[in-house]
Amino acid sequence: MKKSLGIYIHIPFCVQKCRYCDFCSFAGEGDGVKSAYADEIIGRIGAWRGETAGYEADTVYFGGGTPSLMSARDINRILDSINSVFSVSGSAEITLECNPATADGEYFRALRSMGVNRLSMGLQSASDRELALLGRIHTAKDFENTFAQARAAGFDNISADLMYGIPDQDMDSFRATMRYLTALSPEHISAYGLMIEQGTYFEKHAEELRLADDDMQYEMYLACTEYLASCGYGKYEISNFARDGRRSRHNMRYWLGEEYLGFGVAAHSYFGGVRFGNSRDMGAFLRGEDITEERVCLDADDVREEYIMLRLRLSEGIDTRDYACRFGRDFFSDFQVVRDWAKQGFMRILGDRIGFTDKGSFVSNTLLSEMLSLG
């Protein structure tokens, strides 16, 4: 039986930089650079020929940036190289991230014909005022049009992102965004609280922004979880909600600690017990240089820490029998504090299953770092 593998391709191009974004993306690059970037990705995929015998790729994910700014021809060339180098499952989930107003029906039909079967689209807000404040390039109507074109081209598996905690956003406005999005009926929704990241426009202008405080963000997170559940979207990860059978298979791979190879600037990989990641140095990448900047062989303690950090992001949480089986240790002896947190409403203990409640999910970073300092 072959081992499963995920392939991630980072496409770091955007029309303009959103004001909150610290992802690795570059605005305003021309078609020549994009094609040269695709050539370089293809070359680096080719270097893995023969290295992954015994594996079958069952997820492929084009993330960004805005992958839909890359021509269908270049996406096709990259997919051809993936298919020629790796054994790709006939039922692989192949996702491409797409921003409204950067793709049309013809583009979507081309993607379908080359095997892309899932899209992830950024809405963020249904308020054009909030979209402009975020520095997004599109209106809500653009999203609706792009979504309709994707549906018409045959995409029956679409995810959409929304954001809460946007400056000046109140609960009514956030609820209006959720109603707007669920009326379109995507199969999957990701909801993220705005974070002020270093080096962004928002960080430089933080004093001018009327930001939601923690209490408001928490109320929005709870409202989101409740409302989406009432519309048939079950929360399966801290920020991710899906209709039955529509979880992101690729992202599940990250949370389950499964293997994947990432290509492109800022892409990360986990393969053969080693985590390695690329720098953001686009010039060096295009010159064909090795841009690997970190390479970590995980020891037994690292594997256990990652297991805790990643599994607890999932609503299923940790199965204490699985923990004992993998690591030869008793979960409650390692983390006695979990029983106190359960009494305080941060964690849920159901038989052998341990997980965060909604209240705990909201402060999960703090709780996880406390756990890791103990265990």
Site residues (vs ligand SF4, CB under 6 A): 14, 17-18, 21, 23, 25, 64-66, 99, 122
Nearer to ligand SF4, 11 or 181 (CB): 11
Q: 158-164 and 188-193: which strand pairing? A: parallel
Distance CA(250)–CA(95), nearest Å, equals: 8
Q: How far is the CB of 220 from ligand SF4 (least distance, A)?
A: 19
CA distances from 280 to 86, 98, 261, 296 (A): 25, 21, 17, 18
Nearer to ligand SF4, 25 or 125 (CB): 25
**Cβ distance to ligand SF4 smaller for residue 18 or 111:** 18
Q: What CA–CA distance (Å, rounded) separates 217 from 198?
A: 20
Amino acid at 232: G
CA dihedral of residues 150, 194, 163, 20 (deg, nearest 10)? -40
Q: How far is the CB of 66 from ligand SF4 (least distance, A)?
A: 5
Instruction: Give the shortest CB-7-to-ligand SF4 separation in angstroms.
Output: 20
CA-to-CA distance for 139 and 130, rounded, in angstroms?
10
- For residue 313, which of 365, 359, 265 has the smallest C-alpha distance? 365
CB-wise, 99 or 315, nearer to ligand SF4? 99
Contact 138, 100 (CB under 8 A): yes
Closer residue to ligand SF4 in complex, CB, 197/290: 197
User: Least distance (Å) from ligand SF4 to the CB of residue 200?
Assistant: 9
Residue 23 or 55: the one with the smaller Cβ distance to ligand SF4 is 23
Least gap, CB of 194 to ligand SF4 (angstroms): 11
> Among residues 264 and 360, whose Cβ is nearest to ligand SF4?
264
Concatenate the DSSP letters of all residues of 158-220 into one string.
EEEEEEE--TT--HHHHHHHHHHHHHH--SEEEEEE----TTSHHHHTGGG-----HHHHHHH
Q: What is the DSSP letter of 24?
A: S
Nearer to ligand SF4, 124 or 361 (CB): 124
Minimum CB distance to ligand SF4, residue 229 (Å): 27
**Dihedral, CA of residue 68, residue 198, residue 33 and residue 122, to nearest 10:** 10
Instruction: Report, in Å, the least distance between residue 173 CB and ligand SF4.
Output: 20
Residues 6+ apart with CB under 8 A from 49: 85
Here the tokens at position 40 are 């370089």
CB of residue 131 to ligand SF4, shortest distance in Å: 11
Cβ–Cβ < 8 Å for 11, 65: yes
Of residues 18 and 338, the one with the C-beta less far from ligand SF4: 18
Nearer to ligand SF4, 22 or 334 (CB): 22
Q: How far is CA 285 from CA 24, 40, 43, 362, in A?
A: 13, 7, 11, 37
Strands 318-319 and 292-297: unpaired
Contact between 130 and 168 under an 8 Å Cβ cutoff? The reply is: yes
Closest approach of Cβ 249 to ligand SF4, in Å?
A: 22
Q: How far is the CB of 19 from ligand SF4 (least distance, A)?
A: 9
